């Protein structure tokens, strides 16, 4: 997480890159994939199309969760070119399966529930409450509030689960199923409700106007978030030992912040519908799909496509749970130095050694989860200073 108390030129560039490139590319891919599935998968039978997407999406998602240790074992040690090809193919398949799950459940709800203020308020409220009770509401956030880069082999294939079960535990598969099916289905319902609120209340009969206002609201909330997040973080640190108070305070903040990604995505999505080859549907969808994925691969942030894993509300210390994570260019400066070598030796002494490959990777015994568990501070220092290619 980035500390924005002292705004530097690098911080500003990270924000601009996220707003101008990362976020549009993510929405391009999602819109293109979503609409291609609508166009090609039983377009004459919407309900069957949705069911196929839900089932196939969830099966692939659960397999990705449950086999992550195998993926890490066989792919992490590959030489650079095979590794890049394999890892980006993994991201592509995973991303398509996630979009399939989202499209299937979202559209199925649209088919069987009337879209109005009351229905959406009830359905969204129940889903949000369930996420709060499961300490999982923070997972509704994505670009432009946070990005995920592709640079670290040590955590590329790791996906956290709701109960943070270890991959060698017998109940890990059940934890994976619960995370992929329940947690992420609730996230879909919350996003759908917030999206519909904007559809119903923000110039519903003026498509270009509602798209522009949606972008203004989304980016406005995102900027406001960065302006106040350090003050909220101080409050979070102040109540660090009062877990319930900390969770409630952070969740209330996230409840406001989550308007940013939903509103941004909606605005960018509608603008594509309006101006990206509107008379040539297939060309429009394929252009969105391909441009979004290739753009993020080139930027080294294709993992931003994935709505995966499960963080816990109030889990992060020192107020980190309420800070935007947009660090990007700093990763290019990370390299081995005498200081990092010293830190590695320190970790060896503390944890009993690490498995350094030719790229300087740090194994699972040290890193644990994909960032959802609290890491040893020295491990974090190393990860921040060393880019694993």
d(CA 203, CA 217): 13
> What b/e readout covers 222-236, taking b as 16+ CB neighbours within 10 angstroms?
beebbeebeebbeeb
Tell me: pLDDT of 330 over 90. no
Q: Is 270 helix (H, G, I), strand (E, B) or coil?
A: helix
Average pLDDT over residues 16-28: 97
Asked if 258 and 293 touch (Cβ cutoff 8 Å), the reply is no
Tell me: pLDDT of 5 over 80. no
Tell me: pLDDT of 158 over 60. yes
Average pLDDT over residues 18-40: 97
Question: Using 50, 70 and 90 to split pLDDT, how confident is the model at 349?
Answer: low
d(CA 202, CA 211): 9
Per domain, the residue ranges of the chain are 9-333, 336-389
Least trusted range by pLDDT, from 56-60, 252-256, 329-333: 329-333
- Quick one: pLDDT at residue 333? 62
d(CA 236, CA 243): 10
Task: Please name which of 98, 2, 7, 33 lies closest in space to residue 327, comparing C-alpha atoms.
Answer: 2
Question: Using 50, 70 and 90 to split pLDDT, how confident is the model at 335?
Answer: very low
Average pLDDT over residues 264-275: 98
**167-226: per-residue pLDDT in tens?**
888 899 999 999 999 999 999 999 999 999 999 999 999 999 999 999 999 999 999 999
d(CA 254, CA 312): 12
Asked if 344 and 359 touch (Cβ cutoff 8 Å), the reply is no
Task: Give DSSP secondary structure letters for 225-253.
Answer: HHHHHHHHHHHHHHTTT-HHHHHHHHHHH
Question: pLDDT exceeding 90 applies to what percent of the chain?
Answer: 78
Question: Using 50, 70 and 90 to split pLDDT, how confident is the model at 276?
Answer: very high
- Quick one: pLDDT at residue 8? 66
Match 């601009």 to its residue by tokens: 16
Torsion of CA 254, 257, 260, 266, to 10 degrees: 40
Cα separation of the two ends of the chain: 21
CA 302 to chain centre: 10
Burial of 201 (C-beta count, 10 Å sphere; 0-12/13-18/19+): exposed
Burial of 174 (C-beta count, 10 Å sphere; 0-12/13-18/19+): middle
CB count in 10 Å sphere of residue 39: 13
Cα 324 to Cα 85, 233, 334: the distances in Å are: 30, 11, 20
């Amino acid at each position: 997480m980035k500390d924005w108390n002292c705004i530097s030129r690098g911080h500003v560039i990270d924000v601009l890159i996220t707003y101008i490139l990362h976020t549009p590319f993510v929405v391009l891919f999602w819109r293109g994939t979503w609409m291609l599935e609508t166009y090609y998968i039983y377009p004459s039978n919407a309900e069957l199309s949705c069911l196929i997407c839900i089932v196939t999406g969830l099966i692939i998602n659960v397999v990705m969760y449950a086999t992550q240790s195998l993926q890490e074992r066989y792919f992490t040690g590959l030489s650079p070119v095979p590794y890049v090809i394999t890892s980006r193919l993994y991201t592509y398949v995973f991303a398509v399966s996630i979009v399939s799950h989202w499209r299937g459940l979202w559209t199925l709800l649209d088919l069987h529930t009337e879209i109005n203020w009351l229905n959406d308020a009830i359905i969204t409220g129940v889903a949000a409450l369930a996420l709060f009770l499961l300490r999982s509401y923070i997972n509704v956030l994505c670009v432009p509030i946070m990005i995920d880069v592709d640079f670290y082999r040590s955590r590329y294939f790791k996906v956290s689960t709701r109960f943070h079960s270890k991959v060698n535990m017998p109940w890990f598969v059940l934890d994976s199923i619960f995370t992929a099916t329940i947690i992420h289905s609730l996230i879909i319902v919350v996003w759908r409700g917030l999206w519909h609120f904007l559809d119903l209340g923000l110039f519903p009969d003026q498509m270009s106007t509602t798209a522009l206002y949606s972008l203004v609201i989304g980016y406005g909330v995102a900027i406001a978030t960065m302006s106040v997040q350090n003050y909220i973080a101080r409050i979070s640190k102040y109540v660090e030992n009062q877990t319930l108070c900390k969770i409630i305070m952070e969740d209330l903040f996230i409840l406001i912040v989550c308007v940013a990604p939903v509103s941004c995505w909606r605005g960018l999505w509608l603008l594509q519908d309006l101006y990206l080859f509107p008379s040539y549907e297939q060309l429009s969808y394929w252009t969105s799909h391909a441009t979004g994925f290739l753009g993020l691969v080139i930027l080294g942030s294709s993992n931003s496509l994935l709505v995966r894993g499960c963080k816990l509300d109030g889990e992060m210390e020192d107020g980190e749970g309420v800070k935007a994570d947009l660090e990007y260019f700093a990763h290019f400066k990370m390299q081995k130095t005498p200081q990092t070598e010293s830190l590695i030796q320190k970790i060896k002494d503390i944890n009993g050694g690490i498995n350094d490959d030719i790229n300087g990777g740090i194994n699972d015994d040290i890193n644990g989860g994909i960032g959802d568990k609290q890491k040893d501070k020295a491990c974090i220092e190393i990860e921040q200073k060393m880019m694993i290619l």
